[in-house]
Structure formats: C-alpha cells, structure tokens
Amino acid sequence: MQKDVLINAGAGEIRVAVVEDGRLQDLMIERTIGLDDGPRRKTDGRSGHSIIGNIMLGRVQRVLPGMQAAFVDVGLERAGFLGAREARCLADLPGYDEERTPKISECVHEGEEILVQVVKDPIGDKGARLSANITIPGRLAVLVPNTPGVALSRRIEEDGERDRMLALGEQMIAEGGDRLVPGAGYILRTAAIEATIADLKEDAERLAEAWRPVLARRQQARAPATLYHDLDPVERTMRDTVRSHTSRVVVDDAAAYEAARAYCRRAMPEAEDKVELFTGPGALFDAIEDEIAQLTVPKVPLPSGGWITVEGTEALTAVDVNSGSFTASTGLEETSLRVNLEAADEIGRQVRLRGIGGLIVVDFIHLGQAANIEKVLDTLAESLSKDHTPTQISPMSEFGLVEITRKRVRDPLVKLMSECCRSCNGHGRKRTKESVALEIIRSIEQAAAAAPGKPIAVRASAEVVRWLDDHGEEIRNALARRGATRVAFEANDAFAREGFDVTTL
C-alpha cells in the first residue's frame, strides 16, 4: 500500500492530507493568519487555530456543584469548562479512589490558580474543554506528570504484546533515573511497538526536557497565562501521522520542509529520508482540491450509483443511505446489502475527512437477514477503526438506524469553511470570507511560482478584500517569503463573495 502524507504549507494555512493508494483518507486544516492579533486572539482556538494540547495557568471563576463543573479563566474569549472527572487529580482526599469522581468543590475553589490543559477547542458558543490531568505527547510515549505508572494505547490489543510493552515501560522508568520526571507516568503509543528500550528512554528524556520549563514558568507566571504550546502543525504531523509504513512525506514549502527534517533528526531519524520537497509542476494538492471542495456538499456518490447524504444539526449529524437507480438482478435484499456495504465503508472516511463529532445517526436501507446486518456493521466498524479519534457504534435498530458517537474536539470542516445562508439556491450555507480569501492567497502563490518577480493584481468582492486588508501586513510578509513580492488588491462590485480574479501583469 502506498501511503503518502502531503503537507501544503501556504501563506495563510497549513493543510495536511493522507493519501492511500491515490485516495484521500484524512485531512487536517489549521489556519495561521491572525495569530498575531493580540493575546486573546492569538490562542482563542477559533477560525481554524487549534489550541488543543496547550498547558495554561488558569484562575477558577465559578464552581457549579449542580453541574459538577467549574469555569476557568485561561485568557480566552470565553472561560474554559473543567468537569469534575477531569479535575479529580486535584482532589486531596483520604482514601481517594480514582474510580470515584469526587465533588467539584473537593477539587477546586473560586479564585484558585490551577494548571490545566486544553483537550477540546472552543466550538460554537462553548469555551474550551479543559483537564487538570496534564499530558505531553512524544513520538513513542505520552508523559503524564500527575499519574505514576505505565499505561498503553487502546490500539495495542493483543494480550502478549500488552504484557511485553508494559514490562518495557517499567524498565524504561527504572533505568531512566534522574533524567526522567520524578513520579510521572507514561502512556506508550502504538509507534512504540517497534521501539527498543534505548528509543523509549530517549523519548522520555525529551518529554522531561519539555516539562521542566513548564514548572519553571509556573513559578513566575500569573493567571491567566499559557505555559506550553504543542508542536506546530508540521512537527505535529511528523509525530502523530508518520509511521514506519508511510511511503513518503511531501512538503511544498522550503521552510516547512526543513522543519520536518529537523524534527526527524531530533525524534525519528529513520523517517528523514522519506521527507521530500515538492517543486512542481502545478500545486501539491491539485489532484485532491476538487474532493476537498466537495467535503462541504451533503451528497456523496457511491460506486453502485447510490449515495449518502450528510446533514448536520445542533443535536446530531444525520446520514441517509439511498440506493438511487441501482437495482441488483438477484432482488431487493441483495440491492440493499450492496448499497449499505458501500455506504458503511464510505461513512467512516467521510466522518474523518469532514471532522464530524458528537452523535451521528445513520439511516441504512432496510435489511431482512441478520447475517447481512452483521456484514454491514462489521464493514462500518472496520471503516471507523482507521480513525484516531475515539468512536463507538450501537447495534442496528429495527428501523435500520445505527448510532455512532465520535469525540468532538474541533468544529467540523463545514463550519470552518462555510456559514449559514438564507439566499444561496437552497444549499443553506455559503463559503466564509476567510475561506475565499485563503483560496485567493493560494492562487497568488501559484501565479508567483509560474511567473517569478512579476506583479500580481487581485480583484474580488469588497468584503473579501476588507478581510485581506485587515491582515495585510501579515499576508504580504507571508506571500513575499513565497516569491509574491508585488501584489495589489482591488475591491470590485462585479464579484460576488466567492468570485475573484488573479492576474499576472
């Protein structure tokens, strides 16, 4: 299997695509424009800026016993939410049982300064979800400063392998000595399966080097303050996505390419030779741009001629399976089975690509035979098993409904790229000004690569040009680093929001 990781490090956003055998399987988009607009804007986690993994010194604003939760000011637009379960490591109770969730009032008090970590970005009108159980992920292990012992990734399932890995982790702690964090615990990741004890100790030492400055800053800081930022998107991709079976990592920006190779030299030298710099022809994402654009469209075609429709609401995401004009010659049951199997295989992929979280309800075509229902559920489970985000599947109801829950950590792609619209030909959503502006920036980069040194003129709608002007210095500096040194923006009433023209003069 050919598995490629493509990193498009543009002037306004970083996009990471995982392509297996020529088919898009995963997508991550993180926007970089607007990160210097002030202390609260810089880390607010909105508009595509992720703050998951950041460690912050916060101050407890309110303790709500009725909700078993507290609101904590961590310097964002809205206070973060800390549940009792995520705060229980702060409880200092005689005979404390980790299986019991203490009362929130036993964990935190109003006005108290506490160290917390963002585990879920702000979504909609909700603030960030926080945890007091701090973790710092490495390439092979995750450091858990507040919880001693060794645990394993849930993806390591075979009993013999789990026993071997647990013993290896205990050996790592015993031999690490003062170079490791005293009293800390570790979660061994799936990447550690092929690691030696020397590899594990080296990774744990790097984690200790990352944790000690957090403790030092904690002594000097006053809440609210951010004490630790997770790796940037390029390094995070190398750490979390690139594995031994990855064929190559292709990066289209020289600085990002060097950052990826530098991370490899520090943490995963065996992968450095897999990193390649893309130099054309065309753009790195040319083959998948159309598919990415379709990820905000509800209808997804299936090979047989049927389709699934993906529609989101505040409460849940509904997925409807439709056979269309397809009819199997052997009868209705065979028709329903084939379409359902295709849908089950595609649903896991679409959920990953679209970043859908929360409750997902799938309305499959009715099946009469229990064996066929089992086949569909097995296919759905296999499709969802490729997801790094935890998911759960319910049995199929008598009405053909299957419920899926997927941990919600960020806004779905449709909310990142579009917004509600009442006058857009019945689609209900239209692209945001930011999404159109970032497409313009990508077009400028391509024009500059095709005609180095020549001036570029951009005409677009007034609202999009205003957005570009609001971030003018940042955008121009980023474009200049990519060879577009002379760019002029012109507002033109002839263009609707999604229309624009980029011309080389």
pLDDT digits (tens, 9 = 90+) for 257-266: 999 999 999 9
410: DSSP letter = S
**Quick check: 308 and 347 in contact, CB under 8 A?**
yes
Same domain, 239 and 216: no
pLDDT band at 46; cut points 50, 70, 90: very low
Q: Name the least confident of 289-303, 328-342, 420-434, 485-499.
A: 420-434
At residue 93, the pLDDT reads 55
Same domain, 450 and 358: no
Residues 6+ apart with CB under 8 A from 231: 239, 263
Q: Which CATH number fits the domain that encloses residue 119?
A: 2.40.50.140
**Quick check: 404 and 360 in contact, CB under 8 A?**
yes
Same domain, 221 and 146: yes
Q: Please, what is the Cα angle at 12 between 9 and 14, to 5 degrees?
A: 35
How many other C-beta atoms can be found within 10 angstroms of the C-beta atom of residue 44?
21
**Quick check: 304 and 276 in contact, CB under 8 A?**
no
Same domain, 197 and 173: yes
**Quick check: 365 and 336 in contact, CB under 8 A?**
yes
pLDDT band at 332; cut points 50, 70, 90: confident
The whole-number average pLDDT for the span 434-449 is: 94
At residue 67, the pLDDT reads 94
pLDDT band at 45; cut points 50, 70, 90: very low
Same domain, 140 and 223: yes
> Which residue, among 413, 51, 388, 55, has the nearest Cα to 232 in the 3D structure?
51
Final residue of a structural domain among 217, 252, 277: 277
Question: Token pair 């092979």 is at which residue?
Answer: 140
206: DSSP letter = H
Is 334 part of a structural domain of the chain? Answer: yes
- Count of structural domains, the chain: 5
Same domain, 220 and 251: no
Same domain, 327 and 363: yes
pLDDT over 90 (residue 330): no
* pTM score of the predicted model: 0.88
Same domain, 118 and 143: no
Residue 403, phi then psi, degrees to nearest 5: -100, 135
Q: Which CATH number fits the domain that encloses residue 168?
A: 3.30.230
Q: Name the least confident of 91-100, 102-111, 311-320, 438-447.
A: 91-100
Alpha helical stretches, state H, 418-488:
433-450, 462-470, 472-481
Is 43 part of a structural domain of the chain? Answer: no
Is 262 part of a structural domain of the chain? Answer: yes
pLDDT over 60 (residue 133): yes
Same domain, 190 and 214: yes
Residue burial 318-355, b: 16+ Cβ < 10 Å; e: rest: bbbbbbeebeeeeeeeebbbbbbbbbbbbbbbbbbbbb
Same domain, 457 and 371: no
pLDDT over 80 (residue 43): no
At residue 41, the pLDDT reads 38
The whole-number average pLDDT for the span 118-130 is: 90
Same domain, 224 and 236: no
Crossing angle of helices 159-176/197-220, nearest 10°? 60
Residue 349, phi then psi, degrees to nearest 5: -65, -45
For residue 464, the SS3 value is: helix
**Quick check: 131 and 86 in contact, CB under 8 A?**
yes
Final residue of a structural domain among 78, 113, 131: 131
pLDDT tens digits for 136-165? 999 999 999 988 999 999 888 889 999 999
Residue 150, phi then psi, degrees to nearest 5: -125, 135
Is 421 part of a structural domain of the chain? Answer: no
Residue 344 Ramachandran class (φ > 0 left, ψ -120 to 50 alpha, else beta): alpha
pLDDT band at 504; cut points 50, 70, 90: very high
- The C-alpha atoms of residue 89 and residue 147 are separated, in whole angstroms, by 8
Is 39 part of a structural domain of the chain? Answer: no
Q: Domain of 13?
A: 3-33+232-277
pLDDT tens digits for 400-411? 899 999 998 888
- The C-alpha atoms of residue 397 and residue 403 are separated, in whole angstroms, by 9
Which helix or strand (DSSP H or E) is residue 392 part of?
strand 391-393
Final residue of a structural domain among 131, 154, 182: 131
pLDDT over 80 (residue 382): yes
At residue 260, the pLDDT reads 97
pLDDT band at 487; cut points 50, 70, 90: very high
Q: Which CATH number fits the domain that encloses residue 455?
A: 3.40.1260.20
Sheet containing 136-137, strands listed edge to edge, beginning at the edge strand earlier in sequence = 136-137, 141-144, 185-188, 149-152
Is 326 part of a structural domain of the chain? Answer: yes
Is 82 part of a structural domain of the chain? Answer: yes
Same domain, 238 and 224: no
Is 41 part of a structural domain of the chain? Answer: no
